[in-house]
Amino acid sequence: MTKSVLVTGGSRGIGRAICLKMASLGYYILVNYKGNEAAAQETLAQVRALGADGELLQFDVQHKEQVKAVLGGWIEQQKEKVIEILVNNAGIKDDTLMLWMKDEQWENVVDTSLGGFFYVTREVLNGMLLRKSGRIVNVVSLSGLKGMAGQTNYSAAKAGVIGATKALAQEIGKRGVTVNAVAPGFIQTDMTEGLNEKELKTMIPVQRFGQPEEVAHAVAFLASPESGYITGVVLSVNGGLYT
């Protein structure tokens, strides 16, 4: 059986760095993305340049029918490949003060992070439980731990995933499957592009934004076979900004 890793939102930023880290460890990489095919192809090319292999799986994590059709369909067809590691990384932000927040801003952000976690994990879980082996790592956020003004939608979505991480860890620990979360602070990606790094980094004890590879390192640690006694935790990767 070829051990595979599914990374949602693997086309760019933190997700791409996770794909490359897991490729360097020899896994077969399933690169999920929503719409940016060129970026997803670039991730796959970089995976192959590392001597590993993988494929693209396009679906929108917030649409349960798409998740079922594409991911469920892929799982059903496989004879050789199993998803040993699931990284729920896909996420968006759409910041505004709650007073001005529109329904779609609330729904899109919550449905992508929290809905996406539910629909994708549900699809993958059965196989892990039957094999009595698996790792689930959810990429959450500092905002989900401490709350961030202008991000009630995003903070609620990520806090929701943290609660679900802890609950699911308790449900399935006895079946050899662990569920953990990684909570990045400010990481240099498209998502943080418009932010004033010069000003913000003065608040961060290590005095800089983090790199996607530093988050990928934490994900790989929690996803490793040796981390079987760690479940239900939230590991912060934030330069000491908040504990």
Point out the residues that are catalytic: 154
Give me the least distance between CB of 114 and ligand NAP, in Å please.
11
Establish if 123 lies at the interface with ligand NAP (CB under 6 A). Answer: no
Establish if 11 lies at the interface with ligand NAP (CB under 6 A). Answer: yes
Q: What is the DSSP letter of 95?
A: -
Establish if 216 lies at the interface with ligand NAP (CB under 6 A). Answer: no
Q: Which helix (H) or strand (E) holds 181?
A: strand 177-184
Residues 6+ apart with CB under 8 A from 51: 23
Give me the least distance between CB of 194 and ligand NAP, in Å please.
12
CA pair distance 15, 18, nearest whole angstrom: 5
End-to-end CA distance of the chain: 40
CA pair distance 180, 230, nearest whole angstrom: 8
Q: Would you say 1 or 149 has its CB closer to ligand NAP?
A: 149
User: Given candidates 4, 30, 89, 125, which one binds ligand NAP under the rule CB under 6 A?
Assistant: 89
Give me the least distance between CB of 175 and ligand NAP, in Å please.
26
CA pair distance 211, 200, nearest whole angstrom: 15
Q: What are phi and psi of 21, to 5 degrees?
A: -60, -45
Q: Would you say 52 or 109 has its CB closer to ligand NAP?
A: 109
Distance of CA 141 to CAs 25, 41, 56, 108, 147, Å?
A: 25, 27, 26, 17, 9
User: Given candidates 62, 153, 165, 236, which one binds ligand NAP under the rule CB under 6 A?
Assistant: 62
Binding segment toward ligand NAP, per CB under 6 A, in 8-16, 20-28, 97-105, 124-132: 8-16
Give me the least distance between CB of 43 and ligand NAP, in Å please.
8
Residue 13 contacts residue 190 (beta carbons within 8 Å): yes
Binding segment toward ligand NAP, per CB under 6 A, in 59-67, 96-104, 168-176, 224-232: 59-67
Establish if 141 lies at the interface with ligand NAP (CB under 6 A). Answer: yes
CA pair distance 17, 31, nearest whole angstrom: 11
Give me the least distance between CB of 168 and ligand NAP, in Å please.
17
Establish if 112 lies at the interface with ligand NAP (CB under 6 A). Answer: yes
- Contact positions with ligand NAP (CB under 6 A) in 158-187: 184, 186-187
User: Given candidates 24, 133, 192, 211, which one binds ligand NAP under the rule CB under 6 A?
Assistant: 192
Q: What is the largest CA-CA distance in the chain?
A: 52
